[in-house]
Amino acid sequence: MSVQTGASRPAAAPQPRPGITSLPGYSRSAAKATVRWIASSNESPVPPSPAVLEAIAAAGKGANRYPSLAGDELVATVAARLGLDPGQMLAGAGSLALLQLLLSTYAGPGDEVIYAWRSYEAYPILVGAAGAAAVEIPLDAAARHDLDAMAAAVTEATRAVIVCSPNNPTGTVVDRGELVGFLHRVPPHVLVVLDEAYREFTLPGDEGVGLLADFPNLAILRTFSKAYGLAGLRAGYLAASADIAANLRRAALPFPVSRVAVAAAVVAWAEPDRMAATVAQIVAERDYLAARLHDRGIRVPRSGGNFLWIPAGPRARELEAACLDQSVSVRAFDGEGVRVTLGGREATAAVLAAVDTVPGLAAAIQNPLPAPAGA
């Protein structure tokens, strides 16, 4: 055993891989426990159905046993309705776990991963944690993905491109025609990850899943956290080519989804009318808030999610504080804007009351955008 001294002496504590200590952190929503309306995390305001609660209780009784090796029942249930082979799918503890698996399996040191920015705050963290370099392509003036710039940014080092549609936090949607055009421009050896966490809130709801047959480099992420209202249980799924799915299974942890989460997700999946009713309620509230903001001269991007983006620019923190004063927690991004998750009409009224206490907000809005539908 050798003991080193002086300059060559190793650090006194274990050190993570380069880059880990400089990763950005996830933001926390302000004072969740003390607010009346939580509009900061894009969750569903609707608690689980009685049938889901029953399934949770029943599954809990078997908690002394491991769940299936790979969320098998959930995979089979979802694959059947989507018309996919179960071999093309994986289940995970939320779609985020599956994104981490994708990135760490397909990218590493020396590789690049492209995504739009601003987008979901997990992307820089997970790309960095995989050891790859993030290439962030600014959203265009309408807060949409700049797909031309994203395609042009592909280099020999690019391993993956993430497309977030609807985009968190701006809500903007990449429509099917745009996506197909983009997929034709990305070389077939580059993975395209389509993050569809909010897809159910986009009407009409055509599915990226239909593109898998034509684009074997496409991987689609979906979740039970948003429209299905199971954020607290952690369940999501991935659909891709059988080849991508097989590679991911090689690198995946066993038992990725708990018995309770599998049972709840399978029952929630079997209640599509309930999910559709929740979505319809949220979409109506989203359009109402967009129209009331428009009445006040505040134009927001048309959203396909369960949230709206108010591009308040330098007034973002002020608006966040005004919302907290009205007992609503929202998500503010410094100097950029505020994301409001839709809930019930009372919460919307509180947000509007907050907006009315920030003088000159309309003038601070960045990138004036077209009027929302029905405004």
Ligand X SMILES: Cc1ncc(COP(=O)(O)O)c(C=O)c1O
Please report, as residue ranges, which positions from 181 to 210 form the binding site for ligand X (by CB under 6 A): 195, 197
| Residue 150: φ, ψ to 5° | -65, -45
Applying CB under 6 A, the span of 18-26, 88-96, 315-323, 355-363 interacting with ligand X comes to 88-96
Does 95 interact with ligand X (rule: CB under 6 A)?
yes
- Using CB under 6 A, which of 142, 149, 153, 231 touches ligand X? 231
Applying CB under 6 A, the span of 89-97, 152-160, 275-283, 333-341 interacting with ligand X comes to 89-97
At position 154, the amino acid (one-letter code) is V
User: Looking at beta carbons only, is 326 or 329 nearer to ligand X?
Assistant: 329
- Using CB under 6 A, which of 56, 74, 90, 96 touches ligand X? 96
CB of 282 to ligand X, least distance (A): 15
String of contacts with ligand X for each residue 109-138, x by CB under 6 A = -----------x------------------
CB of 371 to ligand X, least distance (A): 26
- Using CB under 6 A, which of 45, 48, 71, 94 touches ligand X? 94
Neighbours of 26 (CB within 10 A): 8
CB of 129 to ligand X, least distance (A): 15
CB of 86 to ligand X, least distance (A): 20
Encode the chain in three state secondary structure: CCCCCHHHCCCCCCCCCCCCCCCCCCCCCCCHHHCCEECCCCCCCCCCCHHHHHHHHHHHCCCCCCCCCCCHHHHHHHHHHHCCCHHHEEEECCHHHHHHHHHHHHCCCCCEEEEEECCCCHHHHHHHHCCCEEEEEECCCCCCCCHHHHHHCCCCCEEEEEEECCCCCCCCCCCHHHHHHHHHHCCCCCEEEEECCCHHHCCCCCCHHHHCCCCCCEEEEEECCCCCCCCCCCCEEEECCHHHHHHHHHHCCCCCCCHHHHHHHHHHHCCHHHHHHHHHHHHHHHHHHHHHHHHCCCCCCCCCCCEEEECCHHHHHHHHHHHHHCCEECEEECCCEEEEECCCHHHHHHHHHHHHCCCCHHHHCCCCCCCCCCC
User: Looking at beta carbons only, is 196 or 285 nearer to ligand X?
Assistant: 196
- Using CB under 6 A, which of 70, 78, 114, 164 touches ligand X? 164
Does 236 interact with ligand X (rule: CB under 6 A)?
yes
What residue number has its CB nearest to ligand X?
Answer: 94
String of contacts with ligand X for each residue 244-273, x by CB under 6 A = ------------------------------
User: Looking at beta carbons only, is 125 or 352 nearer to ligand X?
Assistant: 125
| CA angle, 366 then 371 then 372, to 5° | 110
Does 168 interact with ligand X (rule: CB under 6 A)?
yes
Please report, as residue ranges, which positions from 333 to 372 form the binding site for ligand X (by CB under 6 A): none
Please report, as residue ranges, which positions from 285 to 324 form the binding site for ligand X (by CB under 6 A): none
Q: Which two tokens stand for residue 251?
A: 């690198």
User: Looking at beta carbons only, is 208 or 236 nearer to ligand X?
Assistant: 236
| Residue 102: φ, ψ to 5° | -60, -50
Applying CB under 6 A, the span of 90-98, 126-134, 180-188, 261-269 interacting with ligand X comes to 90-98
The CA radius of gyration of the chain, in Å to the nearest whole number, is: 22
Determine contact, residues 127/120, Cβ cutoff 8 Å. Answer: no
CB of 121 to ligand X, least distance (A): 8
CB of 3 to ligand X, least distance (A): 45
- Using CB under 6 A, which of 35, 39, 42, 127 touches ligand X? 42
Q: Which two tokens stand for residue 41?
A: 């995390």
- Using CB under 6 A, which of 49, 100, 217, 225 touches ligand X? 225
Name the residues that contact ligand X, by CB under 6 A.
Answer: 42, 94-96, 120, 164, 168, 195, 197, 223, 225, 231, 236
